[in-house]
Amino acid sequence: MSIRLVIADDQALVRGALAALLGLEPDIEVVAELGDGTGVAAAVVEHSADVAMLDVEMPGLDGISAAAAVRRAAPSCSVLMVTTFGRPGYLKRAMLAGASGFVVKDTPARQLAEAVRKVHQGLRVVDPALAAESLTAGDSPLTDREAEVLKAASDGGTVANIAKAAMLSEGTVRNYLSAAMAKTGGRTRAEAVRIAQDNGWLL
């Protein structure tokens, strides 16, 4: 019996390529393709999917949040994260959200198909280089609020704009930004954002 696979990736070209390559496998059937994470859980339920292959960075609902939604809606469906960004922080958060596998997009098609089969069997599959890196990287030092404010700052928002969007005072926003800079070791707000993004602490 075929493994029923749902693929979600916001890049149409990548999504189409993954579907075409994996659809060539005799034991894998691609039952749905989505451009963001919002409808993933519903698609998994509708198509009785066995595995959901999700990109990490997607509009609407990111892949890690979508993974958690899939696990709640269809506990029997395994989740495999596939990403361009092999960041240790993403790996840890994906596993906490219930993902069974985490591989990078330039993984050869044969290995991707094998990863789908393994997570379907209940096994864990993690890119070895990323696994090693995540062991040495440590957890995010940022609180949820600090990460939220730093992410808002990554869009170039002023303190006033961030304060308004987050419903905080400007003084509180400055305090969160200062704390985030101290914890990341960034000398400027932009540097703190870059360090946090490189480690996968922001999404």
Q: For the residues 182-196, what does the mean pLDDT come to?
A: 84
- 116: Cα separation from own chain's centroid: 17
Task: Provide the percentage of residues in the chain whose pLDDT is more than 90.
Answer: 46
Give the pLDDT confidence score for residue 133 in this predicted structure. 66
**Contacts of 125 by beta carbon, 8 Å cutoff, 6+ apart:** 80, 100, 101, 102, 103, 115, 118, 119
Average pLDDT of the residues in 95-112:
89
Report, as an integer, the average pLDDT of 76-95: 83
Q: Is the model's pLDDT at 88 over the cut of 80?
A: no
For residue 162, the model assigns a pLDDT of 87
| pLDDT > 70 in the chain, percent | 94
Q: For the residues 62-79, what does the mean pLDDT come to?
A: 94
**How does the average pLDDT of the chain come out, rounded?**
88
96 vs 69, residue with greater confidence:
69
Residue-level pLDDT at 113: 95
- Produce one character per residue of 27-49: b if its CB has 16 or more CB atoms within 10 Å, e if not: ebbbbbbbbbbbbbbebbeebeb
pLDDT digits (tens, 9 = 90+) for 40-56: 999 999 999 999 999 99
Q: Which domains does the chain have, with CATH numbers?
A: 3-136 (3.40.50.2300), 144-198 (1.10.10.10)
In tens, the pLDDT along 113-163 reads 999 999 999 999 988 777 766 655 567 788 888 888 888 888 777 888 888
pLDDT at 138: 61
